[in-house]
Structure 1
């Protein structure tokens, strides 16, 4: 199952109510066979603009990032549930790239370009190809005269 991040803005409320709403939000993921990896709080901050949601306007919100594993069908269900939730002001889902695929090749990249294997292969290919700008007219092409001569 791929890993996703849910960026959630939750309306301003006391800490006890915030805990219960976070528990309810997390249970929605767990009930649909998702695996929660982490829940990070970014704190209580002002929103960049006025957000209207469920007949009220919000200028401040609690910011949370929930990282979880699930299938793609579950994301659409979660969007529907969070749209109906009164406490969730705004939500956005992102797919997380696999971080294990990145490998460090600093030693190869720090070499001068002329010594890199990739550049040497490109130079060999360039020498094999004919330069299109050095084409000359062949006089034995079957024409008796050069047609562009004045």
Structure 2
């Protein structure tokens, strides 16, 4: 099964109502054959713009992020059941990307710039570009043998 992230925007409610809404959302995930890895509270606050949902205009909301595993064939059913919930203002489901592996180059980053390989490569490229003249001398297209405006 793949890992997904679902950011959810809930309307402003009491703590117990918010917990009940999250429980309903978790049950919807469980019904589709998925299981939850993490629920993260991202806080409450004003929305950047007014959002209407289920016939109500919302200016404030509570943000949550759910990380879960679910079969890809059941995502549409999950999204439909979360959309029907009156307390959920907005939600999306994103496939979580695997973290990219990178090579730690701390020993190179600590060196002074003159001794770094990437800085030396940039200097060489600058020297090559300096030899090439990309700029042409400006030509006055007035047809006169002098420049009529003051310099």
TM-score of the two chains, using structure 1 as the length reference: 0.69
Question: Would the aligned equivalents of 2:45 and 2:62 in 1 still touch at CA under 8 Å?
Answer: yes
Deviation per CA, 1:78-135, whole angstroms, max 9, x where unpaired?
Answer: 1111111101000011111112x5132527986526x99xxxxxxxxxxxxxxxxxxx
- Indicate whether 1:112 and 2:107 are aligned: no
The structure number with the bigger radius of gyration is 1
Cα distance in 1 between the residues matched to 2:103 and 2:37 = 26
Residue equivalent to 1:63? 63
Asked if residue 42 in structure 1 is aligned to residue 42 in structure 2, the reply is yes
Gaps of 5+ in 1: 117-150
Q: Report matched runs for 1:1-150 at 5 Å.
A: 1-99=1-99, 101-106=100-105, 112=117
SS in 2 for 1:12: coil
Equivalent position SS for 2:36: strand
CA apart distance, 1:13: 0.9
Q: CA RMSD in A?
A: 2.2
Unpaired runs of 5+ in structure 2? 110-115, 122-151
Note the alpha carbon deviations across 1:51-82, whole angstroms, 9 max, x for none. Answer: 11111100001100000011212221111111
- Work out the number of aligned pairs and report it: 115
Cα distance in 2 between the residues matched to 1:28 and 1:92: 14
Contact 2:28 / 2:82 at 8 angstroms: preserved in 1? no
Q: 1:81, 1:112 → 2: CA distance?
A: 54
Provide TM-score, normalisation by structure 2: 0.68
Once the two structures are TM-superposed, the CA of residue 36 in structure 1 deviates from its matched residue by 0.5
